[in-house]
Amino acid sequence: MPLQPLAEYELLAALAHGHLCAGQILGLRMALVGVKLLGLDDPSGKDRKRLISIVEIDRCMTDAIGVVTGCRLGKRALKFRDFGKAAATFCDLQENRAVRIAARESAKERARALYPEIAGPNQHQMRAYREMPDEELFHIEWVRVTLGAEDLPGYRAPGVICAQCGESVSFRREVVCEGRALCRGCAGERYYEPA
C-alpha cells in the first residue's frame, strides 16, 4: 500500500491496536518520518523486502509502526530490542542505511503547552502529535546497524538441537558452553521455572 495520509493510518491503527491513542499517533508519525527519510514510498508493498524496523519499546507506539511499515514480528521484519525507550530504527537493506528516530522528552511538555484547554490525559497529546513538526517531536539520527544473515527474513538453515533439553534452536541463537551447543534457556537465560 503506497503511503497514506495520517488520518487513513489512524483508522487502520485503531483497528489493529483496539483503540486510537496518543502513542499510536506518535508511532505513526515516527514510522512515516523513517520511511520517508529512507525514500520508501510503498513500505508495505513494493518496498517490503527492503525494510527492517527495530523497535525499542513494547507499547502502543509499536503497533502503529507495524501499520505504516508493514513490518511484522512473524515476518522477521520487526525486531524488538527491549530498551524501554520511545524510539525505533528503520533500516533499508537495499541501500544499506538506517535512521533512528527517538521521541523527544520535550514533546509531552510541548503538547500540554499547545492545548492546555483540551481536557483528558490523551486528547491534548493526540491533537498536538498530529500537528507538531517532525523536529519538535523527534530526535533523528542516521545510524549504522549491523544485521547478520541469520537476522534477515528468508534465512534458511537447519536448527541446532540443544544438548540439554533437546529442543531445536533456529537462526543461530544457540550458545556454545564448554563445547556443547545449548539453547539460551539452558545456557542460563531461562525466564521460567517448572511449576
**Of 60, 61, 65, 87, which lies in the binding site for Zn ion, with binding defined by CB under 5 A?**
60
Query: How many residues touch Zn ion (CB under 5 A)?
Result: 8
Considering the complex, what minimum distance in angstroms separates the CB of residue 46 from Zn ion?
29
| 13-21, 78-86, 92-100, 107-115 -> range binding Zn ion (CB under 5 A) | 13-21
Contact between 55 and Zn ion per CB under 5 A: no
Q: Which residue's CB is nearer to Zn ion, number 58 or number 135?
A: 58
Q: Which residue's CB is nearer to Zn ion, number 21 or number 87?
A: 21
Considering the complex, what minimum distance in angstroms separates the CB of residue 166 from Zn ion?
7
Residue 54: Cβ-neighbour burial (10 angstroms; 0-12, 13-18, 19+) = buried
Residue 133: Cβ-neighbour burial (10 angstroms; 0-12, 13-18, 19+) = exposed
Contact between 122 and Zn ion per CB under 5 A: no
The beta strand positions in the chain, using DSSP E, are: 51-55, 78-80, 87-92, 97-103, 138-143, 160-161, 168-169, 175-177, 180-182
| 87-95, 99-107, 139-147, 177-185 -> range binding Zn ion (CB under 5 A) | 177-185
**Of 9, 10, 13, 21, which lies in the binding site for Zn ion, with binding defined by CB under 5 A?**
21
Considering the complex, what minimum distance in angstroms separates the CB of residue 87 from Zn ion?
17
**Of 25, 55, 71, 162, which lies in the binding site for Zn ion, with binding defined by CB under 5 A?**
162
DSSP 31-78: HHHHHHHTT-S-TTTTTTTTEEEEES--SHHHHHHHHHH---GGGT-E
**Nearest-CA neighbor of 28 among 49, 6, 45?**
6
Q: Which residues contact Zn ion (rule: CB under 5 A)?
A: 21, 23, 60, 162, 164-165, 183, 186
